Amino acid sequence: MAQHRKVPLDYDLLHDLYVVKKYTTTKMAERFGCSRAAVESALKAVKIPVTRQRVPRDRALLHRLYMELGMTAEEIANYFGVDKQTVLNALRDVGIPIRKKGYDPVYKKYADWNDATVQQIFLGSLLGDGGLYLGGRSNRVVQYREGHSLVQKNYVAWKNDYYKFKYDEPGRSASKQVPEKGISSYIYSWSHPYLDSAYKNLYGGGKRRVSDILAGLGDLGLLVWYLDDATYWPYPLSIYFYVNGFSHEEHEIMCDWFEKKYSIRPGIGKYNNHGNDPERKAKGILQEKLTLYGDRARTLLGVIRPQFVKFGLPVDMSYKMCPLMWHEDTEEIIRHGECMDGQETL
């Protein structure tokens, strides 16, 4: 049976360690080869008050120490004069995820968020299928999440070549809209200072601030938004942005942005978004979409098609650019930026 040493009931020694030298009860327990409880009992026995050291629940401070400077929980514990578990509890309380072994605390595994390409993909995705969400123990961790069907796996991989987030293919449960079970193509992030800042600057009350996102959106960002949420029809030439996640007022803001930036103003149409659900279809639930026809659609394609070629989008996404994706020579056509719909030259 293991022998446990007793803590000497020596006031001068314990006072020197605990009060003068600021040893924690955990550190004293290691010195005496006993438990923390035994140390606390000894301190009480010689009339030395036991104080409960605390780590301030200051998320900005802890984020800087743990995430930005890369300090370990043990180093932070020594800084505050507490034990490691107290620090881990504090990190969880303020919503900072605990690093796993091998995690790079200075974000070398993430993209350069100052890179203009990354920013445009990010902004376009926020209008499309990506989003920032609060999670963690106290709903204070900002994380990025985005999901697509497995058919668009290569497109998600293209985005993640820039993001360098976590990639997964989780199972998808059957629903009325999609009766078959399936697999999704999904990316998600850990905590990052840029995401914290983006949530503060681009979200309000948990919702996207459309005008602030559009203010930074360029041609590449528009392409990403288009690939996420729009549909192309060749006959007659039509483009629809399915923006039912936004309000009518936000749709008007989008229309104003298109008109100001590209001199094309989409219409606002309505459609029955039943998602193959007979009950929803019978109710005739109408939702809004942005519509561009003819020359306006042609102008939009003229903006985004060069971006498609320049940034090497997967060819299996070319069906959103022109119908020639069905031809064997599609890849060659896209590479040279040529696209005809059979009746009109785009």
Q: Where in the chain are the domains?
A: 1-51, 54-106, 108-206, 218-346
Architecture per CATH, 218-346:
Roll (3.10)
Global pTM reads 0.66
Closest by alpha carbon to 123, among 211, 186, 191? Answer: 211
pLDDT of residue 107: 46
Do 108-206 and 218-346 come out as alike in CATH topology?
yes
Q: Inter-axis angle of helices 116-127 and 153-163, to 10 degrees? A: 130
pLDDT tens readout for residues 89-105: 888 888 887 765 544 55
Determine the Cα–Cα distance for residues 304 and 221; give it in Å rounded to an integer: 9
pLDDT of residue 22: 76
Chosen CATH of 1-51 out of 1.10.10, 1.10.1060, 3.40.50, 1.10.3470: 1.10.10
Residues lower than pLDDT 50 in the chain: 1-3, 102-103, 106-107, 324-346
pLDDT of residue 177: 52
pLDDT of residue 274: 56
CATH code linked to domain 108-206: 3.10.28
> CA angle 269-274-276, nearest 5°?
135
